[in-house]
Structure 1
Amino acid sequence: MPIPSFLARRSFHYGFFVAGLTFLALLVAAAIRSAPGVFIVPFEQEFGWSRATISLAISLNLVLYGLIGPFAATVMEQIGIRWMMVFSLAAIAIGVGLTTLMSAPWQLILLWGIVVGCGSGVIALVLGAIVVNRWFFERRGLILGILTASTATGQLVFLPILSAITHRFGWRAGALVLTGAALLIIPAIAIFMRDRPAEVGLRPFGDKSETGELPQPKANSIASTFNALWLGMGNRDFWLLFGSFFICGASTNGLIGTHLIPACIDHGIPEVKAAGLLAIMGLFDFLGTTISGWLSDRWNNRYLLCWYYGLRGLSLIFLPFSFNFSFYGLSVFAVFYGLDWIATVPPTVRLVANAFGKENVGVMFGWIVAGHQIGAATAAFGAGVLRTWMGSYFQAFILSGVLCLIAAVCVLRIGQTPSKGNSQLLKQET
């Protein structure tokens, strides 16, 4: 399918337009993934379901979101990025739309947990990593930082609106708005998205070499994905990256993204005002993650991660005490925590590329993102259980903060031992 001439001009590299489409898709997917934080209390009030039951569906969504990533990375080699994005956005729209008809917990688990979880697993951090490494030779860290920050922008743009709609018209109206947003961007992806620079007669941005792009082998996606995991498991850096990203997921999407609004409501803070806190975090995270991408091109990425996890841990330990200072204490938390929300992604991707090679970033980062989402699911369900059992989120916030401080120490060991040759093995096998 031809593209408009002004988009194919050599003075405007098409990679920036591809990055823009990817940003838009990630933004919408992020808004949908953050929606359960707004819907938990309405589900409790309408259906009488416990917070632990609702958290189970959310945790399943987060697990599948992570586990789909590495397989999506290899399937993209088979059918292309564009059609994978179209199919996944359609699945997300169907899953969210059908939740308006549900009446039993198993339907929430099926639709939000499985259907939306699988669809959002493609429109995820792995997608951004693949797009950046295919389309950009220069400014990879900066572009990846901007793409990663789209999850923050999704919260910034949608959560206050979604919360206001839900408060005034009910959660079903909010779900239909999310469905419409997913459906709206599918045509643009189908028409303008491209898989590789060669499809529009270009090289990756900043690549001045004369060699042509090597054709990618059509490997068995399932076998190559599991083989990459098996080989990665023999590398200590894989476990350090996997473990630190497990803690990253537990301390962001799983805990704050899912339970901050219900925790605020527990302390008498209205839902719309609580959603505004997440929006503040989104605003400052857009800034923090973009700067993190810029820094990852210039500074030692291990030290960056150490600072990020350390500051996040201190912020989470402060959080349960900030409720004593009313909304102003929470605003201070939102600013400092927001700057750090997912600033960990650009340096983590850079360290994955260093450990396993640029050609393997998609599948290996996919497995590490799986660790992120397993951590998120553990925190989403565990915090719900603790809230049901203890009547408070205090223990969940403190435990998450301590885990972040542990991660801050562990990441300093990444890349400190000689390579075992995993990059070459992965290249040969995949």
Structure 2
Amino acid sequence: MPGLLVTPLHEEYAWERGQIALAASVNMVLFGLTAPFAAALTDRIGARRVVTGALLLVAAGALLTGVMTRPWQLVAYWGLLVGLGSGCLTMTFAAGITARWFDRRRGLVTGALSSSSHLGQLVFLPLLAWSVGRFGWRPPVVTLALVALAVAALVYPLLRDHPADAGAKPYGAREFVPRPPPVPGAAGRALRVLLRAARTGPFWLLAGVFALCGASTNGIMWSNWAPAAHDHGMRATAAASLLSLVGIFSALGALGAGWLTDRFDPRRLLTVCFAVRALSLLALPLVFASTVTAPMLLFTAVYGLVDVATVPPVIELARRVYGDDGPVVFGWTNAAHQLGAGASAFLGAAARDVFGAYDVVWAALAAGCLVAAALAPAVRVGAHRPAERARAGYPSQS
């Protein structure tokens, strides 16, 4: 949605693109920083309450955005409220749900849950872009708020916190697993996990890789794709349709990556994904056009397939290295992902204002992806890990 707001707000209020992108940056940073605390809070009060509260925050932020008149209000409403609410529903949430409800096929499940957010692009973006062009930017923002309220009304009575609440075993488990007692001190636990993980090398490698991932995916695409397409003369509806198509291929790529994660070394999968993404970003300035062409469709397919494909292997690596703390550790690596995304959203828009085009942005992000491809194989979970794990306070495992 932020990408669809840039041009209308710039034209209506004469706000600079950097001012508008600042709200998207704050949103993305909070989207990431909230995740580990939300994961720990879920262990204390349950997923149903966390999800319901998050959806209410999203609804409130979207409704208030519809009546704003100043740039700081966009930062407060969309950046702060929507950022906090959506931060509770990230891939960290998916990792926690998978750990509780599934004993087998975890890679495939995390791939499926990762793909769901990008399927939302397919459902909403073309409709929202059409609505922005026909009715202005306010009705689509209110529509999102109403949808969030409707989903909250379904979540509270239907969602269960644990398989035991439904009298079921986790998928693939041989024995019934009772619901664990609430874990007190959610915020303290999240910080303690961070301090332990920060004393290990794999955490910093995963965080660095995921920061580059965020910069080269949602950081640039969610807030700068529509303005970049506008620079090439493409209509907003066409640009949103291409981004929705990215969502389709992202869903397929996430499912495929989840299936592959169950069968192959996740580190090699990460290297392949980042290498392919780098090549696609390098090719983008050469194929960008005012209309939807075959090369643009090819870029959409290739980029989409590796867009979210990095999530299942990173979740699996966090689980292998950090055990039960894996979902919270992934939450902190996801925070790094969103810090990279927030920086990319703001700096990408600022670079456009300085250079008059996005070409330098695509090249810089491609270089970052190549760095991530080189870093992924360095994540160690084998012979050299036990001593380092022991120093950090984690149990010994291969």
> Is the 2:215–2:340 Cα contact (8 Å) retained in structure 1?
yes
SS at the partner of 2:184? coil
> Is the 2:28–2:342 Cα contact (8 Å) retained in structure 1?
yes
The residue number in structure 2 matching 1:151 is 117
Q: How far apart, in 2, do the equivalents of 1:426 and 1:36 lie?
A: 40
Cα deviation per residue 1:328-374 (whole Å; 9 max; x = unaligned)?
A: 232221111011111100011000001100x1122111101000000
SS at the partner of 1:55? helix
TM-score, length-normalised on structure 1?
A: 0.88
> Is the 2:234–2:290 Cα contact (8 Å) retained in structure 1?
no
Q: How far apart, in 2, do the equivalents of 1:104 and 1:93 lie?
A: 20
Give the gaps of 5 or more residues in structure 1: 1-34
1:276-315 equivalences under 5 Å are 276-315=241-280
> Is the 2:162–2:179 Cα contact (8 Å) retained in structure 1?
no
State the AA in 2 paired with 1:380: A
Cα deviation per residue 1:220-251 (whole Å; 9 max; x = unaligned)?
A: 22222111111111111101110000011000
Cα distance, 1:216–1:243 mapped onto 2, change above 3 Å? farther
> Is the 1:61–1:113 Cα contact (8 Å) retained in structure 2?
yes
> Is the 2:266–2:313 Cα contact (8 Å) retained in structure 1?
yes
TM-score, length-normalised on structure 2?
A: 0.95
Q: How far apart, in 2, do the equivalents of 1:88 and 1:100 lie?
A: 19
The residue number in structure 1 matching 2:38 is 72
Shift of 1:88: 0.6
SS at the partner of 1:96? helix
Q: Is 1:41 aligned to 2:7, yes or no?
A: yes
Shift of 1:325: 8.6
> Is the 1:314–1:401 Cα contact (8 Å) retained in structure 2?
yes
The residue number in structure 1 matching 2:65 is 99
Q: Is 1:340 aligned to 2:306, yes or no?
A: yes
The residue number in structure 1 matching 2:371 is 406
> Is the 2:229–2:290 Cα contact (8 Å) retained in structure 1?
no
Cα distance, 1:310–1:141 mapped onto 2, change above 3 Å? same
> Is the 2:196–2:392 Cα contact (8 Å) retained in structure 1?
no
Cα deviation per residue 1:28-75 (whole Å; 9 max; x = unaligned)?
A: xxxxxxx11111111111111000001111100000000000111111
Q: How far apart, in 1, do the equivalents of 2:126 and 2:236 lie?
A: 9
Q: How far apart, in 2, do the equivalents of 1:71 and 1:346 lie?
A: 20
Q: How far apart, in 2, do the equivalents of 1:362 and 1:355 lie?
A: 11
Shift of 1:79: 1.2
Cα distance, 1:174–1:324 mapped onto 2, change above 3 Å? closer
SS at the partner of 2:288? helix
The residue number in structure 1 matching 2:78 is 112
Cα deviation per residue 1:90-142 (whole Å; 9 max; x = unaligned)?
A: 11001001111000011001000101101111011111110011001111111
Shift of 1:308: 0.4
Q: How far apart, in 2, do the equivalents of 1:331 and 1:366 lie?
A: 33
Shift of 1:423: 10
Q: Is 1:353 aligned to 2:319, yes or no?
A: yes
Q: Is 1:234 aligned to 2:199, yes or no?
A: yes
Cα distance, 1:422–1:282 mapped onto 2, change above 3 Å? farther
Q: Is 1:246 aligned to 2:211, yes or no?
A: yes
- RMSD of Structure 2 on Structure 1 (CA): 1.7
Q: How far apart, in 2, do the equivalents of 1:222 and 1:132 lie?
A: 21
**Aligned partner (choices 86, 89, 92) of residue 52 of structure 2:** 86
Q: How far apart, in 1, do the equivalents of 2:129 and 2:318 lie?
A: 37
The residue number in structure 2 matching 1:323 is 288
> Is the 1:232–1:422 Cα contact (8 Å) retained in structure 2?
no
Cα distance, 1:175–1:133 mapped onto 2, change above 3 Å? same
Q: How far apart, in 2, do the equivalents of 1:236 and 1:102 lie?
A: 45
Q: How far apart, in 2, do the equivalents of 1:424 and 1:133 lie?
A: 23
Cα distance, 1:162–1:264 mapped onto 2, change above 3 Å? same
1:121-160 equivalences under 5 Å are 121-160=87-126
Shift of 1:421: 2.0
Q: Is 1:174 aligned to 2:140, yes or no?
A: yes
Cα distance, 1:427–1:181 mapped onto 2, change above 3 Å? farther
Aligned pairs, number? 392
Cα deviation per residue 1:384-420 (whole Å; 9 max; x = unaligned)?
A: 1101111111111110011001100110111263232
Q: How far apart, in 1, do the equivalents of 2:181 and 2:333 lie?
A: 23
Q: How far apart, in 2, do the equivalents of 1:104 and 1:367 lie?
A: 32
Q: How far apart, in 2, do the equivalents of 1:260 and 1:297 lie?
A: 33
Q: How far apart, in 1, do the equivalents of 2:182 and 2:393 lie?
A: 15
Give the gaps of 5 or more residues in structure 2: none
The residue number in structure 2 matching 1:421 is 389
State the AA in 2 paired with 1:332: L
> Is the 1:134–1:204 Cα contact (8 Å) retained in structure 2?
yes
**Aligned partner (choices 134, 155, 163) of residue 189 of structure 1:** 155
Cα deviation per residue 1:233-288 (whole Å; 9 max; x = unaligned)?
A: 11111011100000110001111222111100011011100111101111111111
